[in-house]
Structure 1
């Protein structure tokens, strides 16, 4: 149990965050939006802002953070029928568990027994780890693209609403369109957990309308899952502290619901003739295809080496490395951490002399356009004669790319936080 003194200190820290880091981020957003008034975001830990759900054997464990100390409740529904009702004692942080039901879709209703404003609902899609979507898709008319949201939930919602991807209730409203997020949901910003739960459900909403949400893995997803927590925002660290776990444990690829879901996501995606990656596709990846790279990623993420990457005791036991030699381990390290990997490559955005390399990659993958995030630039723009789009504006989640299929090509537009889309200015000729 967390002591009363520790809880008080933790929530005092939360108040400090609101007055410092969050306020600073809000002022920055005001400047980025050209001085337009934007309401200061509210620091929240309740509901899906601080929800942690994981499976252990045949049980599902649910932990949430209340706005105020008091008794809590958890109601479990399947098929619109209440299966279990659980009460938790007075506290700020609550945990309850239930036996995993037979059905895969489970609705959780949870929160404070005393405060009607602190009651929430989340749908779990158990078994989602078995749903690895194909990373090659065709026949899509409209593709919305957002890069590197970095925990800025408020801006992401505003951006998607302006593009009519979601409605005023934050429900999918884009029909058969596809939404691509280019990775780096994690780190820097305060609402990573909330964004992940939002996308987790939005994915299913889109599928019901025959649309799709594609979340690619970026370097910051890999960093957190492998225990590199240097860039986790103070508020996100606070959530883990209140749950009394290491932050990466909240996204454990073997037990946590969000971690298992993230482990099904690709590093490279092809829609129509457009290739998407977080960092970029360097010539090092010419031996791959989109499916073989996805198979490699999935295989590596299932291994004990990936799961225990940051555990020094794991590496000192030779029994854990049976079947691996130094070359095998180096391949995995390079795949996830090398500067030329799909998670880290910046070459096409930072240099203007790689046209031949880019064209070789596009030919190999049967594409005519590569869209990347990772490397921030002042605005979404085209490079290399339009063969590459750098989609990561310097301010996270303040611009969105729209690609509209027109025959064999795609018309290219840029959305901001408000106003209609504008055509993407043409690129200079490739060197």
Structure 2
């Protein structure tokens, strides 16, 4: 406990219930929803529904932990989002949910961002998901569909959901499933596919994930999963260039080349924006932090990736660290885990807690 460890005391076997698992695949311009029915005792079958071509359709996503479900509006439109936003609207950020749908939903409801059916209630505000929403849990599909639905609902209401890609999203796009729940290997088999095909370009969730940015600047604040390496200014790349270069490598496993290039620097597992941990491990100066912020036109940065005891500010409120231990859907842990996030409103920063309260970050 002194070093931040915890113990998993009990696992709910509902984690392995596959009834209601839904995946959408694209083939020759047509979308098909595949829903798993049955269990180990009765056997499994897959119900397949062709979604209306060129139109938005609805699927139902189940959450076995509490037998709830929510509707997802499946859109035929997938496009790369903008990299820079300036509108003065409030911003809420949360990171490293790690396939914990229950904790994610509870946080959104507590802070009036969405209701329990994943319908947006945050007006014209911004919700920033700062990476690692997949892996290490049994609700990857539910979390991704929830984000997808929130994105559609927010857009209709004038708000914006920003899904910043983290290193674990990149791992899934590159078919690295070392920290994925074992049930997804079997889900893929029931669907007649390999596990990597759950996130390839013919999978709606895979194509959608691959369209997302690794860095966005919102109202002058940069949001990136790992961080901005102090050598970033040397490469003289814009925010748009950073996103394009890293996106182009989402499906290419990284290796260290003999000579460092801008591409290898940005995709690296140590210096890349989805992986860098230097704010917490390197001996950085305040000037180095500020130079990397200047390189992307930001006055502060919000990061996940590196676990914290609580949401906090560093480097004279230039770096905000928001990765905390969120509760798991099907695991009881000791000490108890509690979700936290960050609110940025009218230039002030607040630590958001599980119960819906907000504390000023001084």
Please give the range of the TM-score, normalised by the shorter of the 2 chains.
0.7 to 0.9
Deviations 1:3-41 (A, max 9, x none): xxxxxxxxxxxxxxxxxxxxx75769xxxxxxxxxxx69
Structure 1 position 127 matched with structure 2 position 89? no
Q: Which has the higher contact order (CA 8 A, sep 6+)?
A: 2
1:60-139 aligned at under 5 Å gives the runs 60-68=31-39, 92-96=44-48, 98=50, 101-108=52-59, 121-128=71-78, 131-139=79-87
**Pairing 1:401–2:342 present:** yes
Q: Is residue 180–residue 216 contact of structure 1 (8 Å, CA) maintained in 2?
A: yes
| Unaligned segments of structure 2, at least 5 residues | 1-6, 328-337
Structure 2 counterpart of 1:346, from 266, 277, 285: 277
Compared CA separation, residues 399 and 61, structure 1 to 2 (3 A): same
Counterpart of 1:386 (choices 317, 321, 332) is 317
Q: Give the one of 153, 166, 169 matched to 1:218.
A: 166
Contact 2:61 2:142 in 1 (8 A): no
Q: What's the TM-score, normalizing by structure 1? A: 0.71
Equivalents in 1 of 2:294, 2:230: separation in Å? 11
CA gap of 1:119–1:279, structure 2 versus 1, over 3 A, is closer
RMSD of equivalent CA atoms: 3.0
| Residue 69 (structure 1) shift | 8.5
Contact 2:25-2:204 at 8 Å conserved across structures: yes
SS where residue 316 of structure 2 aligns?
helix
Give, in whole Å, the separation in 1 of the partners of 2:135 and 2:222.
25
Deviations 1:223-254, CA, capped at 9 Å, x for gaps = 111121111122333423432433221011x2
Which residue in the other structure is 2:209 paired with?
A: 262
Name the CA distance, whole Å, in 1 between partners of 2:229 and 2:260. Answer: 21
Which of 4, 7, 18 in structure 2 is aligned with 1:45?
A: 18
Which runs of 5 or more structure 1 residues have no equivalent in the other structure?
1-23, 29-39, 71-89, 112-116, 311-325, 427-431
- The residue aligned with 2:4 is none
Length, aligned pairs only: 337
> Which of residues 240, 243, 266 is equivalent to 1:291?
240
Superposition deviation, residue 363 in structure 1: 1.8
Please tell me whether Structure 1 or Structure 2 has the larger radius of gyration of its CA atoms: 1
Matched, 1:182 2:162: no
Residue 332 of structure 1: CA displacement?
Answer: 4.9
Inter-partner Cα distance in structure 2 for 1:54 and 1:380: 38
Asked whether the 8 Å contact 2:350–2:359 carries over to 1, the reply is yes
How far apart, CA to CA, are the structure 2 residues paired with 1:327 and 1:260? Answer: 31
Query: How far did 1:53 drift?
Result: 1.1
Normalization by structure 2: what TM-score?
A: 0.83
Greater fraction helix = 1
